[in-house]
A and B are shown apart, each in its own frame.
Chain A
Amino acid sequence: MEKTYNISVFTENSIGMLSRISLIFTRRHVNIESISASPSELEGIHRYTIVVNVTEEQVEKLVGQIEKQIEVLKAFFHLDDEVVYQEMALYKIPTSMFSSDGNTEKILREHNARVLTIETEFTIVEKTGHSEDIKNLFDALKQINLLEFVSSGRVAISKPMKTLEKHLEELKTIN
Chain B
Amino acid sequence: MSQEIRGAEVVIKCLIAEGTHTVFGYPGGAIMPIYDAMYDYKDTFKHILVRHEQGGIHAAQGLARSSRTVGVCFATSGPGATNLVTGLADAMIDSTPLVCITGQVASHLLGTDAFQETDVIGITMPVTKWSIQITKASDIQAAIAKAFYIAKSGRPGPVLIDITKDAQFGMTSFDYKFCTEIRSYNPMPTLKVDALKEAATLINSAKKPYLVIGQGILLSNAEKELLAFVEKSGIPVASTLLGLGAFSPDHNLYAGYLGMHGNYGPNIKTNECDVLIAIGMRFDDRVTGDLSRYAKQAKVIHIDIDKSELNKNVPAEIAIHSDAKGALTELTKWVDAKSHDAWLQEFKDCDKIEHDMVINDAVNPTSNELKMAEVMNKLSEKTKGNSIVVTDVGQHQMITSRYYKYKKHIGNITSGGLGTMGFALPAAIGAKVGAPSEEVIAIIGDGGFQMTIQELGTIMQSKIGVKIIVLNNNFLGMVRQWQELFFEKRYSGTDIENPDFVAIAKGYGIESAKVSVRENLDSALDAMLNHKGAYFLEVVVEQEENVFPMIETGAAVSDIRLN
Partner-B contacts on A (CB < 8 A): 11-12, 15-16, 19-20, 23, 27, 60-61, 64-65, 67-68, 70-73, 168, 171-172, 174-175
Contact = CB atoms under 8 A, between A and B. Distances in A.
A68 B130 CA distance: 10
A13 to B, nearest CB: 11
Nearest to A57: B311
B129 interface: yes
A40 to B, nearest CB: 13
Contacts of A68: 306-308
15 contacts: A19-B122, A19-B125, A60-B311, A68-B307, A68-B308, A70-B129, A70-B150, A70-B184, A70-B185, A71-B130, A73-B184, A171-B183, A172-B183, A175-B181, A175-B183
A62 B470 CA distance: 42
Contact of A64 (B125, B130, B186, B308): B308
The dominant DSSP class at the B interface is mixed
Interface of B: 121-122, 125-126, 129-131, 133, 150, 181-186, 189-190, 306-308, 311-312
Contact of A61 (B125, B190, B306, B308): B308
A140 to B, nearest CB: 42
Contacts of B150: 70
Closest 5 CB pairs of A and B: A64-B308, A73-B184, A70-B130, A68-B308, A70-B185
A20 B130 CA distance: 9
Contacts of B308: 61, 64-65, 67-68
Q: Which residue of A16, A23, A61, A72 has the most chain B CB atoms within 10 A of its CB atom?
A: A16
Contacts of A174: 186, 189-190
A175 B125 contact: no
B189 A61 contact: no
Contacts of B186: 171, 174-175
A15 to B, nearest CB: 7
A44 to B, nearest CB: 10
Contacts of B184: 11-12, 70-73, 171
Nearest to A72: B184
Contacts of A60: 311
B125 A23 contact: yes
Given A12-B184, A23-B125, 8 more contacts: A11-B184, A16-B131, A64-B312, A68-B307, A70-B150, A71-B184, A171-B186, A174-B190
Given A16-B121, A16-B125, A20-B125, A73 B183 contact: yes
A72 B189 CA distance: 16
Given A68-B308, A70-B185, A171-B186, A23 B121 contact: no
A70 to B, nearest CB: 5
Contacts of A175: 181, 183, 186
Contacts of B311: 60
A70 B150 CA distance: 8
A19 to B, nearest CB: 6
